[in-house]
Amino acid sequence: MDLHLHLTEGEPAYRQIVKQIEARVLSGELPPGTRLPTERDLAQQLRVNRSTVSVAYDELRAKGLIRSVRGSGTRVGEDAWGLDFRIPDWAGYMSQGIFQPTLPMVRRIWDENRRSANINLARGEMSADLWPTEQLRTLVAQMPARMELGYGDPRGEQSLRSAVSAHLASEYGLRVPDNQILITAGSQQGLLLVTQSLLRPGDAVALEKPSYAYSLPIFAAAGIRMFPVPLDDQGLMPEEVVALHRRHRIRMVFVTPTHQNPTGTTLAPDRRRRLIEICTDLRIPIVEDDAHGALTLEEGARAAQPLAAMSGAEQQVIYLGTLSKTFAPGLRVGWMTGPKAVIERIAGIREQMDFGISGITQAIAAQVLTTGIWEENVERLRQALRERRDIMADAIERYFGDELAITVPQGSYHIWGKLRRPMRDKDLLEAAVRHGVVVAPGTVYGAEPGFVRLTYASSPKAEIVEGIRRLRDAVTQC
């Protein structure tokens, strides 16, 4: 439950808790029957004494808003909600939207990351000291006088699509003409567009287990049945797609072949070829998420060849790219490539949805890709991330030894670890937070309990070792 206390404002903490819960019950945000956290959990979350929460719950019980039943915890009273008849039934509306509520664990991670005292090893984004602020300032000052300020082309501005086309050819050997490129607000939106445009409720999608956390709610909201393909250190196992297809008639494969999030694995070249062969034979399209592809950290190493650039894959693969990991996630610029007819169909839907992203942002992104700024920035990021990755891997070795098994990733932002003594993910997160560090437990990504994703990009370099030390203390205490 997302409560915020302002302890300096003079109002006692228990009253703030009462007021906030009461407002939520009356507005319908907490409908009748909703289970409230235990006194102990809420006290931990708010960092107050358990007795403070006890007093607040007592008062709410006295008002008839909540009730506690032995064995079923504390819940919002069945007849409590709707006391304020001027307010629409928001809870009813909210429960009917097509997207599921954000997972409580994900909300908790977000909330805890906002607290400045915590070290953030959870968010999949670069820390502010890695943002290209100065380059952007210079670039914006030199922007061309003419920019698209109308609704523009729903596929994206011609200048940016040309820039992306040249970028894909030089960086990844992926040759696609401008008319097979659609500009998106990031790969996340690319996946949403693909799902909404090309799939129907009940369709079966095969995807890596574990997988990118935010792909799961997109599929769930579209009524897609998700079937996991296991991974090992060489990436997903292509033959599993055949087995799944036999049983469930797979309609699409979603894969992150390079520096997979969360495991960091990269799909081996022979498995890439085999996956394409299988999908060609079975006529299954592949959606390739290459958000992390350019961030290979070994010195002098080039990005792995995307599936979309392999021979035979031209008509098979929808490729998703983004500036989020290599430049700045706040720019919200990404792209999608695919067969021309598919891109046109999705552009049509784009027009129905939002007409595309801002022409100003697109003009900036085109400059980033054509002036050498992107290359310069990626080189700087690679160096910084390599250094942070090594610092984190050393700290894990020092503080955990064989209590946490990791494979040092070749690229991108994350180290994926398996605890030797598994614990419940909720316990892991709560213990970590109590020690002032935020991490992402593996179940967020659909993994079994006992795994954890540690991001070395999201905290300044100087905090990484301390973050791992705090995590070790948390795990030891658990």
The residue ranges that bind ligand PLP (CB under 6 A) are 124, 186-188, 212, 256, 261, 289, 291, 322, 324, 329, 334
The residue among 22 and 289 lying less far from ligand PLP, judged by its C-beta, is 289
What is the closest distance, in whole angstroms, from the C-beta atom of residue 445 to ligand PLP in the complex? 10
The residue among 399 and 413 lying less far from ligand PLP, judged by its C-beta, is 413
The residue among 187 and 316 lying less far from ligand PLP, judged by its C-beta, is 187
Alpha carbon separation from 457 to 22, 118, 215, 295, 444 (Å, rounded): 40, 15, 21, 12, 19
Handedness of CA 184, 188, 190, 195 (dihedral sign): negative
Q: What is the 3-state secondary structure (H, E, C) of the chain?
A: CCCCCCCCCCCCHHHHHHHHHHHHHHHCCCCCCCECCCHHHHHHHHCCCHHHHHHHHHHHHHCCCEEEECCCEEEECCCCCCCCCCCCCHHHHHHHCCCCCCCHHHHHHHHHHCCCCCEECCCCCCCHHHCCHHHHHHHHHCCCCCCCCCCCCCCCCHHHHHHHHHHHHHHHCCCCCHHHEEEECCHHHHHHHHHHHHCCCCCEEEEEECCCCCHHHHHHHCCCEEEEEEEECCEECCHHHHHHHHHHCEEEEEECCCCCCCCCCCCCHHHHHHHHHHHHHHCCCEEEECCCCCCECCCCCCCCCCHHHCCCCCCCEEEEEECCCCCCHHHCCEEEECCHHHHHHHHHHHHHHCCCCCHHHHHHHHHHHHCCHHHHHHHHHHHHHHHHHHHHHHHHHHHHHHHEEECCCCECCEEEEEECCCCCHHHHHHHHHHCCEECEEHHHHCCCCCEEEEECCCCCHHHHHHHHHHHHHHHHHC
The residue among 154 and 264 lying less far from ligand PLP, judged by its C-beta, is 264
| Cβ count within 10 A of residue 345 | 14
What is the closest distance, in whole angstroms, from the C-beta atom of residue 454 to ligand PLP in the complex? 14
What is the closest distance, in whole angstroms, from the C-beta atom of residue 88 to ligand PLP in the complex? 32
What is the closest distance, in whole angstroms, from the C-beta atom of residue 440 to ligand PLP in the complex? 11
What is the closest distance, in whole angstroms, from the C-beta atom of residue 188 to ligand PLP in the complex? 3
What is the closest distance, in whole angstroms, from the C-beta atom of residue 290 to ligand PLP in the complex? 8
What is the closest distance, in whole angstroms, from the C-beta atom of residue 292 to ligand PLP in the complex? 6
What is the closest distance, in whole angstroms, from the C-beta atom of residue 187 to ligand PLP in the complex? 4
**In the complex, which residue's CB is closest to ligand PLP?**
186
What is the closest distance, in whole angstroms, from the C-beta atom of residue 414 to ligand PLP in the complex? 9
The residue among 126 and 276 lying less far from ligand PLP, judged by its C-beta, is 126
What is the closest distance, in whole angstroms, from the C-beta atom of residue 447 to ligand PLP in the complex? 15
Asked if 437 contacts 443 with a C-beta cutoff of 8 angstroms, the reply is: no
Reading the block at residue 358, the tokens are 């801002």
The residue among 21 and 320 lying less far from ligand PLP, judged by its C-beta, is 320
The residue among 135 and 256 lying less far from ligand PLP, judged by its C-beta, is 256
The residue among 74 and 188 lying less far from ligand PLP, judged by its C-beta, is 188
d(CA 478, CA 449): 14
The residue among 186 and 450 lying less far from ligand PLP, judged by its C-beta, is 186
Q: What is the CA radius of gyration of the chain?
A: 24
The residue among 1 and 231 lying less far from ligand PLP, judged by its C-beta, is 231
Asked if 157 contacts 183 with a C-beta cutoff of 8 angstroms, the reply is: yes
The residue among 21 and 192 lying less far from ligand PLP, judged by its C-beta, is 192
What is the closest distance, in whole angstroms, from the C-beta atom of residue 33 to ligand PLP in the complex? 35
d(CA 465, CA 28): 44
What is the closest distance, in whole angstroms, from the C-beta atom of residue 318 to ligand PLP in the complex? 13
